[in-house]
């Protein structure tokens, strides 16, 4: 006999998947001064894409640099000093994308003040500003408790990990991930240590595959009895 599916409840957690659609803006920069000028007015979605987009798309550049601005400074402008300064910017330190934009501009301004010649890239190596749009998919998978979530995490797609643990920081009212937001709303007691370790997981410096493994380890450590 076919098992009847239980009706969804208010405290069910629906696992979703996503893809990051890249949309050309037509805005380019060939030198560092142009990059600064374009950054002043570029759409926030473009800043988001150039910091977080690399997590979801295949990357073949030097993974020493975790954002596209640092990669371009290194490979396009051949400015290792600027590349290092841009590369150490942790976007999770900034509550808003506008504050992250300001940090980028300050870093670039500082480098322009230090150099007598503005760094240029070859025409074929211009920086192309891209903006992003997240496309969300339904996986038809639902969990009803933190213990069930712990079992599901190791099998999630990297898109699900990105959507629920990374992108959620930019859209939830408290700037938290979807896992903690759900547990705090539906299971407010008994999981405080788990919440603490999830909050302290520095996701930006892992690949999504590595992040999924780290998440699985955190859940297993706290819910080992499942």
What is the pLDDT, as a whole number, of residue 64?
76
DSSP helix/strand/coil, 207: coil
Kind and range of the H or E run holding 172 = none
Is the CB of residue 155 less than 8 Å from the CB of residue 75?
A: no
Burial class (CB in 10 A: 0-12, 13-18, 19+), 188: exposed
CA 2 to chain centroid, in Å, comes to 40
What is the pLDDT, as a whole number, of residue 67?
93
Token pair in block for residue 70: 């640092």
DSSP helix/strand/coil, 141: strand
| Rounded-to-integer distance, Cα 127 and Cα 106, Å | 19
Tell me which residue of 52, 47, 43, 44 sits closest to 20, measured CA to CA. Answer: 52
What is the pLDDT, as a whole number, of residue 84?
96
| Rounded-to-integer distance, Cα 79 and Cα 54, Å | 21
pTM, 2 dp: 0.87
Q: Tell me the average confidence (pLDDT) per consecutive run of 10 residues in the chain, 226 residues long.
A: 48 95 96 98 96 79 79 96 96 93 98 94 97 94 96 97 94 89 94 95 88 97 76
What is the pLDDT, as a whole number, of residue 4?
37
| Rounded-to-integer distance, Cα 214 and Cα 153, Å | 10
| Count of helices and strands (H, E) across the chain | 10, 2
Instruction: Mark out the alpha helices in 42-177 (DSSP H runs).
Output: 44-56, 68-75, 80-87, 97-114, 146-152, 158-161
| Rounded-to-integer distance, Cα 128 and Cα 24, Å | 8
What is the pLDDT, as a whole number, of residue 59?
59
Residue with token string 């959507």: 163
What is the pLDDT, as a whole number, of residue 104?
98
What is the pLDDT, as a whole number, of residue 5?
44
């Amino acid at each position: 006999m076919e098992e009847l599916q239980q009706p969804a409840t208010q405290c069910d957690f629906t696992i979703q998947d996503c893809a990051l659609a890249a949309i050309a803006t037509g805005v380019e920069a060939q030198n560092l001064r142009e990059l600064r000028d374009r950054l002043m007015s570029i759409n926030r979605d473009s800043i988001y894409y150039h910091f977080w987009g690399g997590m979801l798309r295949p990357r073949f550049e030097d993974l020493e640099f975790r954002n596209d601005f640092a990669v371009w400074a290194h490979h396009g402008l051949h400015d290792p000093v600027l590349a290092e300064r841009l590369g150490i910017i942790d976007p999770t330190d900034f509550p808003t994308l506008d504050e992250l934009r300001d940090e980028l501009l300050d870093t670039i301004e500082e480098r322009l003040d230090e150099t007598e010649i503005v760094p240029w890239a070859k025409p074929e190596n211009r920086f192309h500003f891209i903006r992003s749009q997240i496309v969300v998919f339904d996986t038809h998978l639902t969990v009803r408790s933190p213990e069930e979530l712990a079992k599901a995490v190791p099998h999630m797609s990297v898109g699900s990990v990105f959507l629920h643990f990374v992108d959620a920081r930019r859209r939830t009212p408290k700037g938290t991930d979807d896992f903690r937001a759900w547990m705090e709303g539906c299971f407010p007691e008994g999981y405080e240590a788990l919440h603490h370790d999830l909050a302290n997981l520095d996701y930006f410096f892992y690949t999504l595959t590595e992040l999924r493994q780290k998440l699985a380890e955190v859940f297993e450590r706290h819910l080992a009895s499942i």
